[in-house]
Amino acid sequence: MRLALYYTPPEHHPLSRAAAAWLGRDPWRASTAATAGPPGPEDIVREPRRYGFHATLKAPFRLAGGRTVDALRSALGDFCAAAQAVEIPEIALERIGPFFALVPAREPPVLQALAASVVQAFEPFRAPLTAEEVARRRPERLSSREREYLSAWGYPYVLDAFRFHMTLTGPVPEDGREAIEAILRRRFAAFIGRPLAVDALALFVEPDSPGDFVIDCAFALAASRG
């Protein structure tokens, strides 16, 4: 089993529904029955479909010895009761390397601070990486700082290396990027250029690896409580 702490919009939020239709899977539901997936090559959504629509805050990890999922749920609830929601003023569609994602047009410093606090607060729940897990991260391709973060936090893209992004595709071949970008801009036009509230955190669970991640529970951040 692996667990992860992600941001994802509420189950019935229009962005959640649009993303589930694009990826062909809804992590809010235990069933993995596909919805209407994207046009074009199936390969471009195969990997993000496994994880469900999300932005990574604490990357997938195995539980440390002596830790339980119940304790993690409780800790997440306590954390969210004290942490403040963040509003992203404007969402943009961008290509990050070979893949596409929804990102903040301008990333608020408070969002960076929230991400760092999640990484640090839940580190006691993370089991150390195995040699195989380290190898999968291709450390030879990482910067020295990213290798340090991989060793210290189990993920290379944390703290000052963090970038908030909600992945929509896996690698897209160069000759297909223009067409896929045009499709994504049409499919997500209602959200591009609009604000988005980061107002809850969710515990995602992968019961068996490699497999699909599903949402175990979610908690509203303090400022988003009515």
- What percent of the chain has pLDDT above 70? 93
Label residue 146 by pLDDT band (50, 70, 90). very high
Residues 57 and 117: their CA atoms lie apart, in Å, by 9
pLDDT in tens, 182-219: 999 999 999 999 999 999 999 999 998 888 999 999 99
* Residues in CB range of 6: below 8 A, 6 or more apart: 54, 55, 56, 57, 58, 201, 202, 204
Tell me: pLDDT of 120 over 80.
yes
pLDDT in tens, 67-110: 999 999 999 999 999 999 999 999 999 999 999 999 999 999 99
What's the mean pLDDT in 152-157? Answer: 96
What's the mean pLDDT in 15-40? Answer: 77
How far is CA 110 from each of CA 33, 75, 136, 178, 180, rounded to the nearest angstrom? 36, 21, 31, 33, 32
Tell me: pLDDT of 49 over 90.
yes
pLDDT in tens, 124-141: 999 999 999 999 999 999
Tell me: pLDDT of 33 over 50.
no
Nearest-CA neighbor of 7 among 90, 125, 94, 88? 88
Tell me: pLDDT of 39 over 90.
no
Contact indicator for 91, 186 with CB cutoff of 8 Å: no
Q: Which domain, by its residues, includes 89?
A: 2-224
pLDDT (0 to 100) of residue 216 = 96
pTM to 2 decimal places: 0.92
Residue 219, beta-bridge partner list: 201
The CATH number of whichever domain residue 71 belongs to comes to: 3.90.1140.10
How many domains in the chain?
1
| Encoded tokens for 193 | 């250029």
Tell me: pLDDT of 62 over 50.
yes
Q: Which helix (H) or strand (E) holds 167?
A: strand 166-167
